[in-house]
Amino acid sequence: MLKENLHQILFLCFAIGLPLWAMENNSFEQRGVHACSGECYEAWQQETGGVMEVAIAKAEAKAAASPEELGAAAYAGCIACHGAQGEGGIGPKLAGQSADDIYGKLLQYKNGETLGPQSALMWSQSAMLGDDDMKNIAAFVETLP
């Protein structure tokens, strides 16, 4: 009697357990790829794929631009006082100075140091620059004739 019951119980375990296991396994695999399809998948792709593509494109464009090119763009804010060719004006002439000199002076201004009588003007200017900006600008200024 007991033996027969045991068989029945075992059979039930397989009959119910196997399909459940198969379903669970199946949905697990699906989850690994993507959790939905159709419209939902398109939305997911737009959200993540789209954003990722833009981010990658931006990173590649930035990596492709040389420090001089990035510096030239950042130098736009300096033209009013130092001239488009670094020839000077309100501020001193920058053309002809080495990248090390320019970077060093910018760093001094950023640290609030006084170089000349009008350093305060450059304190506010350098405050807006990150370390990369200063290095790029310095690389660009060195290329000026």
Q: Which of 44, 65, 68, 81 binds ligand HEC (CB under 6 A)?
A: 81
Distance between CA 47 and CA 132 in Å, rounded? 31
Binding flag, residue 78, ligand HEC (CB under 6 A): yes
| 109, 126 contact by CB (below 8 A) | yes
List of residues 6+ apart from 20 with CB closer than 8 A = none
Q: Which is nearer to ligand HEC, 50 or 88 (CB)?
A: 88
Binding flag, residue 139, ligand HEC (CB under 6 A): no
Binding flag, residue 32, ligand HEC (CB under 6 A): no
Closest residue to ligand HEC: CB criterion? 116
Query: On the CB side of 122, how many CA atoms lie within 13 Å of its CA?
Result: 23
Residue 58 Cβ vs ligand HEC, minimum distance, rounded to whole Å: 23
